Each structure stands twice: as structure tokens, then as C-alpha cells.
Amino acid sequence: MTMLLPWLFALLTVALADQVCYQPFGCFQSDGKEIKTPQTPDVVNTHFKVFNRQHQTTPYYNLGGSNWLGSMNKLDSHLDPSKKTKILVHGFLGNGDNDWIRDTTKALLKKGDFNIIVVDWRGGSQWPYEQAAGNSILVGEELAVLLSYIHSSGHINYADVHIIGHSLGAQIAAQAGESTLGKIGRITALDPADPGFSGKALDKRLDKSDALFVDVIHSDGSHFNLLSGFGTKDAVGDIDFYPNGGEHQPGCSEKPVGSALNGILHGSFGNAVDSFSCSHSRAHQYFLESLTSSCKFYGHQCASTSDFSAGKCLGCPAHGCPVMGYDADQTQARGSFYLATSTSAPFCGKEYYVEVHVSHALHTTYGELFVTLIGTRGTSEELKFSKLLRYYHRDDVEKNVISTHKDIGVVSQVKVRFVRGHDLHALGAAHEILIGKVLVESTENPNVQVKICGHDAHIHERNTITLSSHTGC
């Protein structure tokens, strides 16, 4: 029995280590896999920074430190109860000084005269992810305690609170909403974190019961592989938007490791980080643009990404399409909505459905296509057409909805560029592609389709050809 005591003590220690309690925030458990128990509040070191129209770049008041609970009453003189409150929460590896937080704060204050609270939990948001995920649950409870206090003190109505969270910040918003019984007015979830949360019980992750209205922008919902897929693909809100299918955003590298190494070799660690987080970060970029641009990100209700890419969900109903971003709450529509964006800012633009028909004479090749649309009012920027590197076989038809910055009018010509892959998949693949024809239609006028004939045009790797014939195909 004496020999068993050390083993029993070790097992008891592990069991106790799987749960920690930090009052008044509650007790927290590890799931044993993807979410660790949170570190202490002193380590996470959450700060709540208050901004307003008179203080847009530096906080009007900064509530934080080891005794912030005892200082909550100081918020009373720094929050205007007549104004609505916007709360911004950064995600994994982020902090309250991130550019998107600063820029969104300014854009919101230009949009309206709000109380702004930035939740800065940089002490707990760093590597490893499993620890940051555990810390985020604590931060959600801290935010809930803060909201409960300023609600009970008469300085906010829950219904006037709008929490905007990215990545783990969206799950923090969800935890705060759950703990305030879903009374929060709105949660905007910007690519809510997937690892450790998807598949969990509703009270452990974001869902539409966490606020009176929950809108979601999905931008990195591919399968998680430590390099991409940080966001959930699941529809978890009242309205879920899937720009470019909710994954592999145009303009972001398909091979983040290579792009990151290139950034490091050229002395840019920031660019290296961006390579890993590009698609994940697009969600907050889209939201910011929705605040600053007159262009609207109209979403099209659709059953799936493949249906949208196949042109089955073009146009808008009589009551109009809902708008992704800040104005998402200006609609009664509910469900999943799809749209296309351009490859670089400004991301909002004119959408076109395009079909590229490969020639029957093609020998199998491997790569991707880029197109430039030429219309009666101008020429688009070059647009990434293929979602991913792929094989092309004879008579293949590739379909996609793409978006251009410019209003180019009625399309009359199209430039097509072929980029051949150079990994193992390309072994034995032809060094060119043959185009039979290209079909183009605007999503604003889906009943008018322009046919442009390729006549089996040969496009060699990295070359571009302009197609302008409208007959003979």
C-alpha cells in the first residue's frame, strides 16, 4: 500500500491540475486535448480600454491590473449611458494595439458616437494555442463580470452592446454572451476560432443564442493543419457569410510555409506571420471595409460553396440581399450567404460568374488560371480564377464567381493567364492549357451571358492570351 501512495498522489495532482478556480469568475476545466486550464488572471492581465470621439487613439480610461475588480466603479464617469457601446476583442497572438483594432475603433467613432471598449488580453493570447484557448474562456468570464457591473450600475443596457471579436476573440464574445444569458444586443464573430471549440456543447462555443443577433464572417474554414483552417466552417450564427466559400481567400498564399520562409529570409517577420494568418485575418479586413466604403458586400443565399461557384445562386430577391459586415443587422434574412471578393483592398466590388471550358484537344496539365475582364467601361485588375492548384483534363469546365474593384460595364474580352504548378503533382503534366471558350455574366444581371470563343487557344505556362471572338464556338 505504501508503494501505491506516490502513484495515487500523482493521479490526484493531475486531476486537480485539470481544474482551476478563480473567483468571482468561476472554475475552469481542461478538455484534456485542445484547451488547457487558463492561467491566473494576473498572468493573462486583461485590460479594458475605453475610447470615445474625444479620445480615439489613446484610452480615455484603462481598467486593468491586479485590482481591476475593485476599480470598476471608476468606469461610471467614463461611460456615457446615453450612448451605445461597441466592444472590440482581438484573437490568438493579437493585442489591443493591433492595426485592425485601432483602425476599427476610429471607423466606428466616425460612424457613430459610441462608447468603445477594447479588450486587451495580450498576456494570455500568445503561444501555445491550447493555452491561449484556455485563457480565452477566462477572459470571456471577465468580460461578463464587467458587463454585469456596468449594466447593474445603469451605464449600459445589454441590448445596446455590440461585441466584435476575431478568432479566439469571437469565442470570448460567446462566453460573455452565454454568461449574461444571451441578453447582449449583438455579436459580430470574425472567423471564430475552430480548434478546441467546434463540436463542443453550445455553452462551450459560439452559437446564435449568445446574443439577440449573431452575425458571422467565415474566411479560413478549411481543414485545420496548424498552418490554415483556424476558423470554423460551421454555420453558428443567425446569419453566416462565406466570402469566397469561407476559405482560401484570393490573394493569400496556398503555401504559407514557403511564403513565411521568404518573409523571414528578407528580414520581415511581420510578413511571415501574415502568410500564416492571411485568410484568417481577411474577416476583420472585410468588416473594417464595410465601415469605411460605400460599396456593399451583398450576400447570396445558397445551399453550399459548390452551388455558389456553379452560378446557382446569383442575383438578389425582391427584398434585396443582406450585407456582410457592419450593416448585417439591417435585414430579416437568416441562414448562410455567399459572395466573392477581390484579391486585394478594396475587397468589395462587382461580381461576375465565369466558366472556363477546356479544349477537347488538351493533354492533362496541372496549375491555376488568372483572368482579366475587359468591358465597355474599363478593364479589371487581374483576378485569381482557380481556387486552388488543380489538374485540368480535356473538356473540363471550371466555374467560379469572382469580383473586381471596378465597374467595367458589359464584358467583351477576357485575358487568361496560366500558371503551371511545380510540385510533384505536375510531373508529366503538359506545359500549356488549351481554352475552348469562356462564358461570363454579371451577378447583377444573371440573364445576360457573354460567350467568348477561345478556338483551342494554346496558353503556355506563365503566358497570357487575350480572347475576343464571339463566334465559332
Cα dist from 277 to 34, 257, 283, whole Å: 19, 11, 11
Spatial strand order in the sheet of 85-89: 61-63, 47-51, 115-120, 85-89, 161-166, 186-190, 213-217, 239-243, 335-339, 300-301
- The reply to whether 80 sits in an annotated binding site is no
Our answer to whether residue 191 is catalytic in this structure is yes
Q: Active site residue: 167, 222, 228, 275, which one?
A: 167
Q: What is the grid cell recorded at 333?
A: 434574412
Q: What DSSP line would sit under 104-130, residue for residue?
A: HHHHHHHH---EEEEEE-GGGSSS-HH
Find out whether 241 and 215 touch, Cβ atoms under 8 Å. Answer: yes
Query: What DSSP state is assigned to residue 36?
Result: P
Q: State the Cα–Cα distance between residues 66 and 70, nearest whole angstrom.
A: 9
* Spatial distance between the Cα atoms of 336 and 242, rounded to a whole number of angstroms: 7
Return contacts of 292-296, CB within 8 angstroms, 24+ apart: 292/107, 293/346, 293/348, 295/346, 295/348, 295/349, 296/323, 296/327, 296/348
The neighbouring-strand residues paired with 323 are 298
DSSP structural state of residue 302: -
| Contact of 91 with 66, CB cutoff 8 Å | no
DSSP assignment of 328-353 equals: GGS----EEEEE---SSSS---EEEE
Selecting among 90, 155, 248, 280, the annotated active-site residue is 280
For the record, the C-alpha cell of 266 comes out as 528578407
Q: Which of 160, 191, 215, 238 is catalytic?
A: 191
Please indicate if the annotation marks 282 as binding a ligand.
Answer: no
Alpha helix (H) ranges present in 209-268?
Answer: 256-265
Closest Cα partner for 378 from 399, 356, 419, 349? 349
Q: Is 294 tagged catalytic?
A: no
User: Is residue 42 among the annotated active site residues?
Assistant: no
> How many other CB atoms sit within 10 Å of the CB of residue 335?
14
CA distance 138 to 32: 17
Distance (Å, rounded) from C-alpha 87 to C-alpha 172? 11
- Say if residue 210 carries a ligand binding annotation: yes
Contact 334, 326 (CB under 8 A): no
What residues act catalytically?
167, 191, 280
Please state the residue numbers annotated as binding site: 205, 207, 210
Please state the residue numbers annotated as binding site for Ca(2+): 205, 207, 210
